[in-house]
Structure 1
Amino acid sequence: MHQPLLAHSGHIAQVQGIQVGHHTDPRRPTGCSVVLCPAGTVGGVDVRGAAPGTRETDLLHPSNLVQEVHGIVLAGGSAWGLDSATGAVRWLEAQGAGLPIGVGRIPLVPAAVLFDVMLGDMTVRPDAAAGYAACQAASSDRPAEGSVGAGAGAVVGKVFGWQRAMKGGIGTASVTVHGVTVGALVACNALGDVYNPFNGALIAGARTADGNALLNTRDALLRGEEAQPILAGSNTTIGVVATDAILTKAQAHRLAVTAHDGLARTINPVHTLSDGDTLFALGTGHTGKTLGMMTLSTMAAEAVAIATARAVLLAQSVSVPGQAPLPSWQDWQRQTPA
């Protein structure tokens, strides 16, 4: 049923100039992911969820002065995970990257975090050393997906309680048209359920009370079933959309806005009061081409939708001492008779 998604071969590092690295903490399910971009890359952001955790997003507004960024960090650890961006800044400075200020350079690295501190010891979270390590690991190879980096502790389908949720993760995808590529890297820690964007099939999310089947949160809410009390900010889907097309800063902002259409096709409910959904957009300009915003926006939404679904399809179950195991889609596939 989900074979086209699993067979998708595109990834964000196919965007010319983009490199991606993960750091996954071995002590508990958490980590961070970095997207590094070449000099001259313009950036944008659209924060759609009502409970975001972000850093340096104001500088991306089209009306503000600075025109380029040098990387993006996605991390677990909630607000503490923002410290991982400091490590990325240090690594970039060591490479001679950053905004020249006469006496040196200042790397500009916006960041967004997701809430994963319910899994294990919350004092273990991504720090500056983790961000530095993710940069050291960055390359243009296909990034690892599933329960790694910023997706290591991601969980989806929490509307009716954590005990009925499933494992989320991080995924990537890309689309190429006329030699221009748009790619996405998405860490899915959504409050809602996740669907196949091609056929609408429910992939993962809230389970029934016995834990043996998917509930379908949308239908349950429309039947009048009451959601569990939800801690604000404990859910979020965060990601990066990048293209090697030429973009202005205003166009990068618009690309981030329209990329959220991909989340809306894959997650339901999405952009809730308890989610901090945030998407960044990057334009490296390395192809020397542009396709027009209609085509680029369509490509961005497609890449985000596929990457979001892959984040869940490739996730692995997690067991933390003292807590109920969180199954993954892969677990259920293994349990289903051929």
Structure 2
Amino acid sequence: MIEHEPIAGAITDVRGIKVGHFTETRRPTGCTVILTEEGATAGVDVRGAAPGTRETDLLNPANLVEKVHAVLLSGGSAFGLEAATGVVRWLEERGIGLPAGPARVPIVPAAVLFDLAVGDHRIRPDAAAGYAACEAATGAPPAMGSVGAGTGATVGKLFGMDRAMKGGIGTASLRLGGITLGAIVAVNAVGDVIDPATGQPLAGVRDAEGRLSGTTAGIRRGELAPRPLAGTATTIGVVATDAVLTKAQCQRLAGAGHDGLARSIDPIHTMFDGDTVFALATSRSGQAGDMMALGALVPHVMAAAVLRAVQAARSVGPSPPGLSELG
């Protein structure tokens, strides 16, 4: 088997990217902002059947707007989309946005995950949370695990929360010549997290003895799952590069990000997940991106970020009975 160096780093290694978390203290939830204050070309690919998103249509290569100024990842299900309002306000106060007549309009796509089953569902990220995430944003490597959008994330939920484990948020990056490629992802999947190098589960559904038992294996054994509501999971993330890319190329890069999810989460893109990946190109390297190389490497960077998300996750706040931490 061909061995590769482990992928570490963070999406903030990409020039022009800052990341900030807001972590709610009253219950496990939060949001994470990826700031591109100078603007970045962007794309998106939505694969899950139950997405919660904002401003994704404008990322279609056929549509007018070329650059975005931030991407928001949030807990709180559809309610969490309100946090994007705080990001818009923070950017507007600094004169950042698309010139539009007398105003500058910040362009902030967003996606949410469902974490309302953990703690008091009436507490969720709002505009103040999005603003606070911007205030916290820096170019330093962001914290991973049970912070920001990953605070209330869980995995392995198909057979009920009593058999689930903690998810979280993770990030990774690598260099390709003079170009950097990074990813950040909040892992809140119906399925299990699998190490692509070994095929072994790292986190997911557990049996009565607390051992990892495998979601897909359970389905094959004929286990009957309770019927969760659509949209009760969802993995959301961003891949980014400082290469020069078009909107169409960013859209393709976002699709390659989903290949990384498919490598590391099983099952993925279910009827209960709203899996969404954004792609950003800051152009700060001044080099045109090689789409063959970038497309080949994005899945590896995204998969590494998924693994790091659950490896760093810890139990936080009130949790359902049996919800395990990773240590």
Q: TM-score range by the shorter chain?
A: over 0.9
Match of 2:229 in 1: 231
Name the stretch that deviates more: 88-97 or 192-201: 192-201
- For residues 271 and 327 of structure 1, what CA distance do their matches in structure 2 show? 23
Checking the alignment, whether the CA contact within 8 Å between 1:78 and 1:113 is kept in structure 2 is yes
1:112-134 CA-partner distances (Å, limit 9, x unpaired)? 00000111111110000000000
Moved more, 22-31 or 290-299: 290-299
**Equivalent residue for 1:176?**
175
Does the CA contact (< 8 Å) of 2:21 and 2:31 recur in 1?
Answer: yes
Shift of 1:156: 0.3
The question of whether the paired residues in 2 share the 8 Å contact of 1:197 and 1:309 is answered with no
Structure 2 unaligned blocks of 5 or more: none
Conservation of the 8 A alpha-carbon contact between 2:96 and 2:104? yes
Pick the aligned partner of 2:325 from 316, 323, 328: 328
- Map 1:95-110 onto structure 2 (within 5 A): 95-110=94-109
Q: Deviation at 1:209?
A: 2.3
Instruction: Give the equivalent residue in structure 1 for 2:269.
Output: 271
* Rounded Cα–Cα distance in structure 2 between residues aligned with 1:222 and 1:30: 33
In structure 2, C-alpha distance between the alignment counterparts of 1:148 and 1:118, rounded to whole Å: 17
> Distance in 2 between the 1:218 and 1:242 partners?
31
Q: Deviations over 1:250-288 (max 9, x none)?
A: 000110011100000000000001100000000000001
Counterpart-to-counterpart distance in 2, 1:290 and 1:328: 42
User: What one-letter code is carried by the residue in structure 1 that aligns with 2:276?
Assistant: T
Give 1:329 deviation, angstroms. Answer: 2.1
SS at match of 1:297: helix
Q: In the alignment, which residue of structure 2 is the partner of 1:334?
A: none
**TM-score normalised by the chain length of structure 2:** 0.96
| Aligned residue in 1 for 2:202 | 203
Query: In structure 1, how many angstroms separate the alpha carbons of the residues matched to 2:115 and 2:40?
Result: 30
Instruction: Name stretches of at least 5 consecutive residues in structure 1 with no aligned partner.
Output: 331-338
Q: Deviations over 1:74-118 (max 9, x none)?
A: 000000000000000000011111001131200000000000011
Q: C-alpha separation between the residues in 2 aligned to 1:325 and 1:285? A: 46
Partner secondary structure for residue 41 of structure 1: strand
| SS of the residue 1:69 aligns to | strand
1:73 aligned counterpart, secondary structure: strand
Count of aligned pairs between the two proteins: 325
Query: Residue type matched to 1:215 in 2?
Result: S
AA of the residue aligned to 1:161 = G
2:111 counterpart of 1:112? yes
Distance in 1 between residues matched to 2:283 and 2:64, nearest whole Å: 19
Could you tell me how far 1:200 is from its partner in structure 2?
A: 1.6
Dislocated runs of 4+, deviation >2 Å: 4-9
Q: Please state whether the residue corresponding to 1:262 is helix, strand or coil.
A: helix
Question: Partner letter of residue 141 of structure 1?
Answer: A
Q: How far has the Cα of 1:318 moved from its partner?
A: 3.6
Q: Which moved more, 1:222-231 or 1:105-114?
A: 222-231
Alpha-carbon distance in structure 1 between the residues aligned to 2:185 and 2:159: 24
Partner of 1:191: 190
